[in-house]
Every structure is written in C-alpha cells, then in structure tokens.
Amino acid sequence: MIDSPILREIFRAYDIRGRALGADASLTPDLAMRIAMAFAELIDAAERVVVGGDCRSTTPALQQAAIAGLLDAGLDVVDIGRAPSPLVYWATAQLTQERPTAGMVVTASHNPAEDNGIKLLHTDAMPFSPEEIQAVADRMVSGVRVGLRQGNRSLWSPRADYVQSLAESFPVRRPLRVAIDPGNGVATVTAGPALRSIGCEVIAINDDPEEPDPPHPADPQHADNVAQLAKFVAESGADLGFAFDGDGDRLGLVDGRGRRATPDQVLALLAEDWLERRPRADIHVDVKTSQAVIDHIRDLGGRARFGPVGHSLGKYAMREQGIDFGGEASTHYYYRIDDPPHITDDAVRTACRIAQFVSTNTMEERLDHIPRYRISPEVKIPCPDDRKHAVADRIVADARRAWPVNDIDGARIDLSRESAGAWCLIRASNTTPFLTVVVEARTDREFEQVRAVTADILNGQDLDPSPLLSQRPLD
C-alpha cells in the first residue's frame, strides 16, 4: 500500500472533502482506502457497511478503493453503486434493522468537479460528528490495520424499495406537471422516478449524470443556479419546479409563476404544513434562519428551536431535543422518519411532500402569505483559521454587554432595540478561513441601520467590514 500524506484540512466539520483530480490531489484512491480502514476501526458495532457514490468522474475509483479498505479491515460491504446521499442513509437504516450496518458516501456535494469527498455514517445513519471525523485522521496517523478476516462484498440496488416507500407515503390528489433540475448530479437516479411514482408528470433539464460541462453548479441555495429552472417552469406551464444539489440532500423550489422561493420561504412553507398535522410542534432552525420564519412558526402555534449550522450538527440537535422536523438556510430540510427509523435530509422526499400538498392548494397561494423581511446573503469576512474561533468568542462576550445574544453557534445578536425584529449573526466558518455574517431587518432603511451596527462590531475586532457594507439585501 502506498502511504499517501494526510492533509488535515480535508478532514472537515461535516465530512472529508478535497481535490481529487490532478498531480496535487489531496484525496486519492490510496487515501480513500486508508480512510475506510480507519473508519472500520471506529465503528465497533458495525458488521457491514453500505457504500454508494455520486456521478463525478473520480468517484468510481475512490469508491472501489474505499470498499477494498473496508474488506481488508474485515467488514462486509453492500455496494449500492451510484446513489444520492439520502439513499445511502435510507439503505443503512433499512439494513441495520437486520444486522448492524454503517454507511459511507463518496461525494463532494456541490463542490467543483475536480473535488470529491467521503461522508461517514453510524449504524443509525447518523453522520460522524466533527470530533469523530478528526478521530479518523488521528487513527490514520497512528496506523491502520488489516482485519483478522477478509470481508465479503455484495451488490444491492435499494432504489425500487425506496421509491415504493415514497409512493405509499405521498400520493398526489390531482395530476401535477413537475419540472426538475438535478444539475446533472446524482439525484437524477431517484428524483424523476419518485415523483412519477406519486402521480406526477415529470419534465427535466440537466438530468444527464454523464454531462461533462453542466450549465450551472448543482447548488440550489443560490438564486443564479435556479434561474434556468425558473425560466423552464414559466415556459413549460409546469405547476412547480425542483432543483437538487450534487448529492441529492438539498432542495430548491420554483412556483408555477416561475418565481424562486427562498430557502427561508421553503422552510416556512414546510413548517406550516408540519404544524397543520402536528399542532404546537417544536421545529429545528439554524442560527442563520430569517426572523420571518421564526415569527411565522410562532403565529401558527409552533416553537422554533435554534441549533448550530451544518447538516450533521442539525441532526444531532434534533435527536437530543426530540424534534421531528427542521431546516436551515442552506436548503437542508430534516425529518425523523419511522420506516426505516432515522433522521434524514432527503431532497427527493421533501419534493414529494411539497408536490402532495400543492395538489390540494396551489403553492402560489401559500407562498404569497408567508412574510419576507430584508435579509442579506451570507457575507464572508476574511479571518485566518487560527484566529477565527477566538475572534467569534470575543464577539459573543463583547456583544453581551449591549444586546441579548444567542451563542449556540457564534453570536446571533438581537438588535430589536435598534429596529423591531432586527438581528445579525457573526460566526466562524467550519470549513473556510472566514467569519460568516448575516444581517436582517424589516425595511431597507432599517437594514442599513443594522448593517452599520454590525460593521461597528467587526471594526471593533480589527476586521474589514467592507464586504458587508457593499451588500444589499436579497431580492
């Protein structure tokens, strides 16, 4: 075995992710094999591992290398081939009911084509925590071992069973014409079949996973990446449109008029549906969530419960607090489901649920009455990795002297004394050398006031606020 060097920066808060193409690749097949062997030593309860991957050109080699590492470590492997991340979660939860089964996904989600990555799952389909991901790196440094036995590899395609489970859960009540844009990502394998199974006519763009030059990144968090779908919906007469990210766990939404719904609006829409069926429920939101969503949940009789940013941290917060539904500003929407039992951020499942309730009331009617405030996008303020967390901690301490502060993840500072309902968020990015800043108020004038207050806070830490001062609220 070649002993490739380990670059610590690829072991991130939510997964392992780095460049996989070229001479300077930080994630190689050899490294994937060693990651898998280290992973095998850290999941003592597991007897086998479900392995799936996305449709990047580097995925097959990384996926087969990871499988070889698991087999050498003595674990059996269920290879499900090309699969969205939520399908791997579903398969892991399904199989672990028979025999303890962990999971692994080879994907870099919406990252550029030259990148790739690995997601690691426990036997309950919960992701490895940030500390556990670092433990994988530590184990690789100390040396990985070949197991006492060679594992066995089997092939299984869970797609039909997965699609059937959605068909039984979300039948539409009238025929719908639904447009989808998987962004030439791996959601192509489940999105169309699932929506057809619940009774929709599906028309698609960018649904070829072999396309070498996609027209836009598969990242529905950003409006530019949903513009093509919005135009397609308006021109085709579709009832609604869904955009998926690269590994099928995040969802963008377009209504029948061709209007993109913001991630916060989608969360409010889903929360409204959830509270109709589960009155007074708690709903998980992250610290970037618009106050408009929080107010809407409160007005409907529910309670928004703040948690940290990130899909893995959000799932753990939901499990610890006994919450069954939630979402975050990055277009992850979470569900605790019973069959098979696990917490999932499944964009295809979310699309099926939205299609079902749109089949009784048009989405336009629902969206039109959801409030919208003036919120900024996530603004990146450069701050070195070795400084950013200390700076964020100082901001929490200093801000508390003047305002109420939620410190679950950085500082969400309540600025309602400056302007009713206004707030700002300043937190250290988990993956890049930046502080992330979000500002919200109810009017453009109040937005400018709150933005100026936030800039003063940044200036107080010798940080350049100019990226924030030049940023207008989202349309």
At position 318, the amino acid (one-letter code) is: M
Size of the chain in residues: 475
Residue 258's pLDDT is what? 96
418 versus 407: the higher-pLDDT residue is: 407
Rounded Cα gap, residues 117 and 85, in angstroms: 12
pLDDT at 120 over 90: yes
**How many helices (H) and strands (E) would you count in the chain?**
15, 22
End-to-end CA distance of the chain: 53
Residue 407's pLDDT is what?
A: 97
What proportion of the chain, given as a percentage, has pLDDT over 90? 89
Average pLDDT, the chain: 95
d(CA 154, CA 83): 16
Of 4, 26, 57, 109, catalytic:
109
Cα separation of 52 and 454, whole Å?
A: 43
Sign of CA dihedral 19, 22, 28, 29: positive
Say what the pLDDT of residue 147 is. 78
- Summarised one tens digit per residue, pLDDT across range 213-235 is 899 999 999 999 999 999 999 99
pLDDT digits (tens, 9 = 90+) for 328-345: 999 999 999 999 999 999
SS3 138: helix
pLDDT at 1: 46
Dihedral of CA 308/311/317/318: which sign?
A: positive
Grade residue 3 by pLDDT with cuts at 50, 70 and 90: low
How many Cα atoms sit within 13 Å of 274 on the Cβ side?
Answer: 28
- Closest-CA residue to 35 (of 58, 57, 83, 68): 68
| Residue 283 tokens, joined | 């709903």
Q: What average pLDDT score do residues 170-178 get?
A: 96
- Give the pLDDT confidence score for residue 363 in this predicted structure: 82
For 437, the token pair is 């800043």
Alpha helices for 237-310 (secondary structure H): 263-277, 291-299
- Given a cut of 60, whether residue 2 has pLDDT beyond it is no
Annotated active-site residue 109? The verdict is: yes
Q: Is the pLDDT of residue 418 over 90?
A: no
pLDDT of 5 strictly over 80: no
pLDDT at residue 424 in the model:
98
The pLDDT tens digits of the residues spanning 376-387 come to 999 999 999 889
Q: How confident is the model at residue 4 (pLDDT cuts 50, 70, 90)?
A: low
In angstroms, rounded to a whole number, what is the distance separating the alpha carbons of residues 348 and 194?
Answer: 7
